[in-house]
Structure 1
Amino acid sequence: MPSWSDYSTGERIKILRGKQISQEQLAAMTDLAPATIQAAEQDRRLTLQTLMKISAALGADISVIEGQQPPRRAMDQDDRTMVRALSAAVHDTAAGILPEAAEPATLDDLQRATDRCWHLYWRGRYTEAGATVTPLLVAAAATLRDRPAGDQSPAWGAVSDAYRIAAYVANLVGVRDLAYAAIGHARNAAEKSDDGLRPALVDSGRAWVYLRDARLEDAVRLAEKAAMDIEPRFSRATPDELTVYGSHVNFAAVVASRKGDKARAADYLSQSNATGARMGAEHRAHGTLFGPVTATTQAVGINVAMGQTGKALTLIQSITEGEDGDTARLTEAARNRYAMDKAMAQADAKMWDASLTTLEDALRASPEWARHQTLPGVIAEKVGRQSNARLARVSKLIGVRTPVDSGFAAADRRTAL
């Protein structure tokens, strides 16, 4: 398969345009004649002015169109447009630069908008979540600007939440530099919010960025710190506190398992299960959902990562699926993640057909979510070594030409979330 730099500039424009946008549509988006677009894709008469208009319309840097750097994996034109707008909002608001039309909002309105962003995020609609959090961040910053100096803590909390969502979206679509910037700004705002939980929530988010960046030692250290910072007294802990703590220790177990530290992972997994049992049901707080079902389904992936396939399959047998099953209580993204862990466990157990069935069902149910995940390719690679049944169809859903794309390596399996 050719590398990105092997294509001509015209070919790269055509690839970035994709099937979603016709030449005529791109011409309308750029105020250029269709003949100019056609000539550009044929590497004829491509002026700098034309290149800049096409770059803006496609949401792609000129360096990408020129072949100096490849496009982000799994990004289409909507993704690129979202990322550019989100990046501008993150960096501008952090510098105190707001649009002239920026209007403050009530704290209730900011909270409703924040809840909407989390809803989109946990449904796996990352492009829409990123597009929604962009104006939320501007509104939160405008609200902070207009509040009296002694009454800014709640606004700082709203700003921190918006930055944290921005970081999560950027991390999932692979824009790591933006994720680092946003999570750093979220931490600064959290410290000024007078909310004891927010700094730990942000630290857990940074640990996830570290994990995706294969910085496992840093991820373990920060995940453990975030969990310890908010460990509640169980006898008087509120559901919100248990939710946040449970999700934190669960994530600490995930990170430890990716590092191969079975003892540490088992310890945190035990605390996660105890917290879920104490809660008795799933509960949502501070943009996360946790409870006994979350603890059990997450334990499947943790055991898979540690090579304990038998334990993972035993847990799978205890989990019911369907509209009235255990998994119906999870967010859509959590259900999809569980499906990937289940498919991997089945592949590890050489249950090739069952693994492909689980994988294909999840890919068809949530194609947008799947675009930004590496684990489907890892599973297809593993199954592809043993079975060709239905593999071509599943590979097409993943978006690779063969059972395994060269980008899906062992490191992706350790860091995929």
Structure 2
Amino acid sequence: MRELRKRADLTQRELATAARVSFRTVENLEQGRGGTPRLETLRKLAAPLRTTTSHLQGDHAEAGNPDADTVERWANVRAALLGPPPVLGPDDVPPTVAGVQTLVRDMTPLFSGDQFAELSTVLPPLLREAELLGAEGRSVRVRLLQLAGWLMVQTRQFEAAEVALSRALDGSADRLEGAATVTTQCWLLLRQGRLSAARELAARWADELEPRMSRATPDELSAWGWALLRLSAASVRDERPGDADDALRLAHAAAVALGREHAPGGDFLRAFGPTTVALKRAENASVVQRPDEVLRLSALVPMGGRRPTSNNWNRHLLDVANAEVELRNYGRAVEKLTEIRNNSPEWLPNQRFARDILGKVVRKRRRLTPEIRELADAVRLPADM
């Protein structure tokens, strides 16, 4: 970083000012102190240093680092994904494809509704039953592994997520089924901070999935659109704004061609359309710290038709809350965080972004209201924040 700063003809203080970080942050990074920097800090530094976030980061991916309660809650799910293949005992009744399909269908609302406590109990035996189905259970097994991989990413258990998603991709029968897995794989790479890998994977699949617009089916447009959204997300975080805008423009074209939110086969993970693109456009504005633009775009989000998935909508509310904090509207930020807590109480504790936002609010307040203290407990904000 020191060499890049010298090439850019910047002092440490000038770099800190241009990147909107503290002088001590720059000083500590150049002297190798302070541990591994946050991805957001590296993104801020990349532009004035005329480089990319991934170049500053090197090969260091972010660990999952879930808290002890999360590790304990999902131990049986991790064992089912990472352990040896299950074996039927002499007195065990073998599962049937129809039976496992019914269970997966009945459990899907638990995934889309962020019912993590119940999933931690019912998912392990179902994963084992799916493995016992053999070749005839390929389709339902891939679907369950897609859901389990998404859940492991959501709860920052990255090793288990990688295993589940790799197995799902290996079992995919065609490119659209594979694309449903790759969308989550890209998200996993983004959460780990592996921006180059996420960008390359999304770009390769976007090229492979690009349809002829005059003949494209809704499922093809949805798959292509999601690959483009992941490409845009990786690019904007890697300080490649032109690539991010190009990918988002093409995703918008796919959404316009659809004309509505479309979920292939009713799969909430693949729901795509104008609303989803609008939410991701606001997310990109949040990443590059344009709070006014986030709020402007939020007001334009089309909410007719299919409601966006819980995951995408809650992320949007976090972007809005962060924008309100940046504009010093702390009360409005707390309102948005409270809305998320009321709607998805089990989703919120897994969001490091939520802790960052509330931490800013806490530092700016002399006294904390009961509502803020409750939120601090909900997002597991450290007591010394």
TM-score, normalised by the number of residues in structure 2: 0.73
- Mapped pair 1:134 → 2:139: no
Q: CA offset at residue 327 of structure 1?
A: 8.9
Q: CA offset at residue 74 of structure 1?
A: 6.6
Aligned partner (choices 289, 293, 312) of residue 311 of structure 1? 293
Aligned partner (choices 87, 90, 94) of residue 98 of structure 1? 87
Give the corresponding residue for 2:37.
Answer: none
Aligned partner (choices 72, 92, 110) of residue 80 of structure 1? 72
Q: Which runs of 5+ in 2 are unaligned?
A: 1-63
Mapped to 1, the partners of 2:261 and 2:212 lie a distance apart of 19
Partner of 1:103, secondary structure, is coil
Mapped to 2, the partners of 1:231 and 1:110 lie a distance apart of 33
Mapped to 2, the partners of 1:258 and 1:115 lie a distance apart of 35
Q: CA offset at residue 328 of structure 1?
A: 6.7
- Mapped pair 1:387 → 2:349: no
Greater relative contact order, per chain length (Cα 8 Å cut-off, separation 6+):
2
Equivalent position amino acid for 1:122 in 2: S
- Mapped pair 1:349 → 2:327: yes
Equivalent position amino acid for 1:380 in 2: L
Mapped to 2, the partners of 1:80 and 1:161 lie a distance apart of 25
Q: CA offset at residue 392 of structure 1?
A: 3.1
Mapped to 2, the partners of 1:310 and 1:234 lie a distance apart of 34
Give the corresponding residue for 1:213.
Answer: 192
Query: Using a 3 Å threshold, how does the CA distance of structure 1 residues 280 and 258 change in structure 2: closer, same or farther?
Result: same
Q: CA offset at residue 239 of structure 1?
A: 1.6
Q: CA offset at residue 91 of structure 1?
A: 3.2
Q: CA offset at residue 369 of structure 1?
A: 0.9
Equivalent position amino acid for 1:399 in 2: R
Q: What do residues 385-413 of structure 1 show as CA deviations (whole Å, max 9, x unaligned)? A: 33346343432332224483xxxxxxxxx
Q: Do the aligned residues in 2 keep the contact of 1:207 with 1:219 (CA within 8 Å)? A: yes
Equivalent position amino acid for 1:264 in 2: D
**1:251-270 to 2 correspondences below 5 Å:** 251-270=230-249
- Mapped pair 1:297 → 2:276: no
Query: Using a 3 Å threshold, how does the CA distance of structure 1 residues 72 and 113 change in structure 2: closer, same or farther?
Result: same
Aligned partner (choices 171, 176, 180) of residue 158 of structure 2? 176
Q: Do the aligned residues in 1 keep the contact of 2:260 with 2:305 (CA within 8 Å)? A: no
Query: Using a 3 Å threshold, how does the CA distance of structure 1 residues 235 and 118 change in structure 2: closer, same or farther?
Result: farther
Q: Do the aligned residues in 1 keep the contact of 2:199 with 2:230 (CA within 8 Å)? A: no
**1:59-208 to 2 correspondences below 5 Å:** 72-73=66-67, 75=69, 80-81=72-73, 83-92=74-83, 95-100=84-89, 101=92, 103-106=94-97, 109-144=99-134, 152=136, 155-190=137-172, 194-208=173-187
Give the corresponding residue for 2:378.
Answer: 397
Mapped to 2, the partners of 1:156 and 1:130 lie a distance apart of 23
Q: Do the aligned residues in 2 keep the contact of 1:164 with 1:202 (CA within 8 Å)? A: yes
Q: CA offset at residue 298 of structure 1?
A: 2.0
Q: CA offset at residue 368 of structure 1?
A: 0.7
Cα RMSD of the aligned pairs, angstroms, is 2.7
Mapped to 2, the partners of 1:351 and 1:211 lie a distance apart of 29
Give the corresponding residue for 1:26.
Answer: none
Give the corresponding residue for 2:59.
Answer: none
Residue-pair matches, total? 314
